[in-house]
Amino acid sequence: LHGSYEALKYGTLLDGLSDLTGGITESIAIRQDPTGCGRALAKLLDMTSLITCTVNNSQQQIRASTEKLANGIQMGINYRLYAIERVESFSGEAVQLVKLRNPLGPGGEYVGAWARGGLEWDEVPPVERDRLAVRNMAEGEFWISYSDFVKTFTHLEVVHLDAETSRDEPSLHSKHTWQMKLYQGSWRRGVTAGGCRNNQETFHINPQLHLILSEMEEVVVSLNQHSIMEPKVIGFTAYALPKNNTESINKQFFKKNKSLINSQYTNSRQVSHRCQLDQGGYLLIPTTFEPMQETSFTLRVYSSKPLKLKLLDTPPSLLKSAIVKAPPLEGKGFSQYEAVFLQLADEHRTVNAFELQELLEACLPNDYIKSCACMDVCRQVILTMDSTGSGRLKFNDFKDLMCSLKFWQAAFKNHTKEKTGILKAERLRDALLEVGFQLNTDVLSIVILRYMRKDGTLRFGDFVAAILHLNDAFAIFESKDPLQNGTIKLSLAEWLRSSLMC
């Protein structure tokens, strides 16, 4: 399944059950709440779940041979649990019995109370014995009292199967099917890898999933990571969220609202959490513990009642123009640029990309700002601000550029808190939003892929290039969509020209 036998050393029995069945797994500590465990068992036995129970060795050591308890139960072996039944003896005493099966077959017989041929069965009427099929049990099957079951076993290890994955298990055909919704996604550096709630500035960029329940229900949420050889520490958090919410949530929401559910964070393949939820909407945030860690994942929600699960994302839109027009009255600031501009300009008082680069080198105040004076950015400035198609800029265009750079620098600075001149990639979405671009995750991931540096950051020149490309992309689309239908039709020639422009 995972490329080599080396991967086996990272696995657990629960991982094996999940891989072999396609379901999600859940571990329930029996002794923490024996009464609650009994209620959970009664419900699970009615659903398409494979229930096993085991005695976990506290020393966590691999032994050459399986150890046995005094009653014959073998440690570290998962016994299949089939049923819970209540029987009455001749004296009227009621006893709760649990039916189990040893997967190893012969050699592992249970020898405690209510075992095969145990004296306790003589106290039970023949009708009850026939109802429990005591004489016709398959090899390895036996009954144990619930009180002894709780004293003997430490954990229930359960696999929940939906309609598709339970089809091949005959013992589940008469059971109620779990309703399951899933989302397959990934944590991508700078885009959706925001880390856990400890990272307040980036937590909101994690994938946001809207869960809607039609009525009060106990659900099982399972997060599975696909990184096997280098597992990440993963978990998830849930918040209450109105049903009618359709767009992603900003970071202010998480600063003002307390979480309802917090799973454990662990580097295991799968993290599951059982919770009772009222009717309504909920926001699920699957995360790695540390930000900027990349891997893909699957999040599944199981419920016995209908449910909905959808990804919240923001549709891309231009909230305001990113290009700032220079004020009509010329101030002293522009007059100092004009002399340099005219020195480099041609007889028509215009400059091309090469001359613009020299101009910016001369006019921009420091290296931090001058990072936008590279040739690629200058060429993009020409494409963006040249309205004549001549490939040259007039002085008025240059003034607009200088005003825009000042505006973009302020937005960039607002999001570079730790170190001036360096923008962490995970803050790019918010910085672009301040400039006027609202982006969805798919578009942002392309921008990040194009401009993020090896260390996971952007310089001011990268930020300016991203703004210019986005400005051109939105401008081209709006020019082709005068009725604002949200769709455009392009010929091949138009598509090539448009794609090369931005």
Q: Which residues contact 66 (CB under 8 A, 6 or more apart)?
A: 74, 75, 76, 77
Query: CA 156, 158, 163: angle at the middle one, nearest 5?
Result: 160
Catalytic residue among 57, 78, 102, 206: 102
CB atoms within 10 A of CB 372: 26
Query: CA 315, 294, 15: angle at the middle one, nearest 5?
Result: 110
User: By C-alpha distance, which of 61, 86, 62, 69 is closest to 53?
Assistant: 69
134 alpha-carbon distance from chain centroid: 48
By CB atoms closer than 10 A (0-12, 13-18, 19+), residue 482 is exposed
Instruction: Give dist(CA 153, CA 151) in Å, integer.
Output: 6
Instruction: Give dist(CA 393, CA 119) in Å, integer.
Output: 100
Q: Enumerate helices (H) and strands (E) in the chain, giving the number of each.
A: 14, 21
Look up residue 231 and give its DSSP letter: P
Query: CA 105, 110, 111: angle at the middle one, nearest 5?
Result: 140
Please name the helix (run of DSSP H) or strand (run of DSSP E) that holds residue 38, with its range, or none.
helix 34-44
By CB atoms closer than 10 A (0-12, 13-18, 19+), residue 400 is middle
What are the tokens at 107? 């050699």
Instruction: Give dist(CA 320, CA 437) in Å, integer.
Output: 8
Q: Strands, E, within 388-477: which ranges?
A: 393-394, 423-424, 437-438, 457-458
Specify whether the CB–CB gap between 267 and 231 falls below 8 A. yes
Tell me the pairing of strands 307-312 and 234-240.
unpaired
User: By C-alpha distance, which of 424, 429, 412, 415 is closest to 455?
Assistant: 424
Active site residue 414: no
Residues catalogued as catalytic: 102
